[in-house]
Amino acid sequence: MERIEPTLEPLPGVSEEAEVSLTFDDNRLAGLVFGHYDQNLAHMERRLGVVLNALGNRVVVKGPPDSAARARGVLERLYDRVRREGALTLGDVDGLIQESAQQGSLFPAADTASGGHPAFEQIATRKRGPVRARNAAQDMYLRALREHELVFAEGPAGTGKTWLAVGHAVSLLESGRADKLVLSRPAVEAGERLGFLPGDMREKVDPYLRPIYDALYDFMETRHVERALQTGIIEIAPLAFMRGRTLTNSVVLLDEAQNTTSMQMKMFLTRLGEGSRMIINGDPTQIDLPPGQRSGLIEATRILDGVEGIGRVTFKEGDVVRHDIVRRIVAAYDRHFTQTQAREGERFR
């Protein structure tokens, strides 16, 4: 990969601008870096405040020196990524942009030994291969999952809490560090009346656990998921049926934990046995409990704050890794919630 970096002298009264030219060795890989109709480059322009012009396997970056240098580093990382792993998504582009900012290093080879910062944490499964954190919050989350036996993760939808938790759990199963995966979720209706659900216990609970199933099929082959469900290696355990159990050598995931009551949360936390790990996810802004009912997630994170062996990660609206519109929707709702609270506070003064 050839790199040309002419030095430009700024004209008097004109803001300084740099121009960086990159030529990639492989035209096909360069096309994957640029994206369909250069969509990856357009995304980088919006995020980094630069102008990117591509022709064949060559791209020219124009913009403020710092931004142009950062864009160059991201392009080099993207090229290295597609050479190792194949096609990219916009989420991968976002992840490398944030990783370059977090590391404070512009070169793909940077690591602790060379004076840079470690790259974002990653997990690996047989089906999906390496999956790297896409922002600092996800990086902190994966590190917490690796280092702590019990981890609380709070934050809005779309931040990857459940998906990464399932990926981490599958990686532990496949590496032999856990014998069983237990999935649980409170069966609370989210504003709709579902009525009577026919079928056996798994069929009754399945509608509530659909997001977890989607993540499982992302990280495991369908036949392996079905076999693990049949043999009990993966168990669907309604929260109400967890009482009295001790879970050993297991990964236990409680999703939508904001809809647990105080007693349910205490009961669930005390199920943790030897050699097990527990992951508890929830969004405190989307509580579907009856009015006046206290959320077990909010209470537990307050009571257990500072307890040794327990990790806690909080995601913000800026950590949403779904469509950009989702990030803006979450931010708009958060602003509305903050303004509403402020107005109510003024009214009662």
Q: Name the residue ranges covered by the structural domains of the chain.
A: 2-107, 122-315, 324-349
**Average predicted confidence (pLDDT) for the chain:** 81
Among the listed residues 77, 64, 92, the one whose alpha carbon sits nearest the alpha carbon of residue 22: 77
Coil, helix or strand at residue 279: strand
Residue 61 above 70 pLDDT?
yes
Element (H, E) at 22: strand 18-23
Residues 245-287 pLDDT 10s: 888 999 999 999 999 999 999 999 999 999 999 999 999 988 8
CATH of domain 122-315: 3.40.50.300
Q: Between the CA atoms of 216, 221, 225 and 226, what dihedral angle is there, to the nearest 10 degrees?
A: 140
pTM value > 0.75: no
Helix (H) or strand (E) holding 277: strand 277-282
Q: What is the pLDDT of residues 85-134, one digit of tens each?
A: 777 777 778 878 877 766 543 334 444 333 344 578 889 898 888 888 88
CATH of domain 2-107: 3.30.1370.10
